[in-house]
């Protein structure tokens, strides 16, 4: 709850308000009375919201970054850690920079199938971030990796570590090739 305005503050406000004049051509009078305490907003159901109960800005959590919408399950945390630390080798890399969507999709599907066929367990797909951090290839690559052409090959995908391209690259974990 707000505290009441003290007399010295009321006097100071009156002096400031006396120096304010309406702009020429404006109709109506200025309301220079001391500000009245604001009514507390009510939520549906009649509950009153206390503005003092809000977190100070220093304690407020920042808005989350826009995350990639994954059509495939994320890589298991331990496996992602091993790939990041290069304990599980990255079998191959592909850079999709400069490709249009059709060429990029075809190249990505062929690359992933070839890497899986050669026995790779993880690959790195570099999509780039786009001009404003929300590039088309960055958005669409998870959809393509989760599509019907690659569903039997891709075990999971996750955003790459900073040293491998960060937000502009993806780790793709591949399933084991069946013996036969």
Query: Strand, coil or helix: what is 106?
Result: helix
Is residue 64 domain-resident?
no
Is residue 18 domain-resident?
no
Q: Is 27 left (phi over 0), alpha (psi -120 to 50) or beta?
A: beta
Is residue 48 domain-resident?
no
Model pLDDT, residue 32: 58
Q: Is 17 left (phi over 0), alpha (psi -120 to 50) or beta?
A: alpha
Half-sphere exposure (Cβ direction) of 152: Cα atoms closer than 13 Å: 5
Is residue 70 domain-resident?
no
Is residue 33 domain-resident?
no
Domain coverage including residue 91: 77-174
Specify which residues 95 forms β-bridges with: 126
Count of domains forming the chain: 1
Is residue 85 domain-resident?
yes
Is residue 16 domain-resident?
no
pLDDT tens digits in sequence order for the chain, 180 residues long: 678 888 898 888 888 888 887 777 766 555 656 555 555 555 556 655 555 555 555 555 554 445 555 557 788 888 888 888 888 888 899 999 889 999 999 999 999 999 999 999 999 999 988 877 778 888 899 999 988 888 889 989 999 888 888 888 999 999 888 876
First to last CA, the chain: 74
Model pLDDT, residue 112: 93
Is residue 21 domain-resident?
no
Return the CATH number at 164. 3.30.1370.110
Query: CB within 8 A of 128, min separation 6: which ones?
Result: 96, 97, 135, 137, 138, 168
Model pLDDT, residue 39: 57
């Amino acid at each position: 709850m707000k505290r009441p305005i003290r007399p010295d503050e009321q006097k100071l406000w009156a002096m400031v308000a006396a120096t304010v004049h309406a702009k020429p051509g404006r109709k109506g009078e200025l309301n220079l009375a001391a500000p009245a305490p604001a009514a507390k907003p009510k939520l549906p159901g009649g509950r009153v919201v206390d503005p003092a109960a809000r977190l100070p800005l220093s304690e407020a959590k920042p808005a989350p970054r826009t995350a990639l919408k994954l059509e495939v399950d994320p890589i298991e945390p331990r496996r992602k850690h091993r790939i990041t630390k290069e304990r599980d080798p990255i079998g191959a890399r592909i850079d999709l920079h400069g490709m249009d969507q059709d060429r990029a999709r075809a190249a990505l599907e062929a690359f992933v199938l070839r890497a899986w066929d050669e026995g790779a367990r993880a690959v790195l797909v570099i999509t780039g971030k786009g001009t404003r951090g929300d590039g088309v290839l960055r958005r669409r690559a998870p959809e393509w990796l989760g599509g019907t052409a690659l569903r039997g090959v891709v075990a999971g995908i996750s955003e790459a570590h900073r040293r491998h391209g960060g937000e502009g690259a993806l780790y793709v974990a591949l399933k084991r090739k069946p013996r036969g």
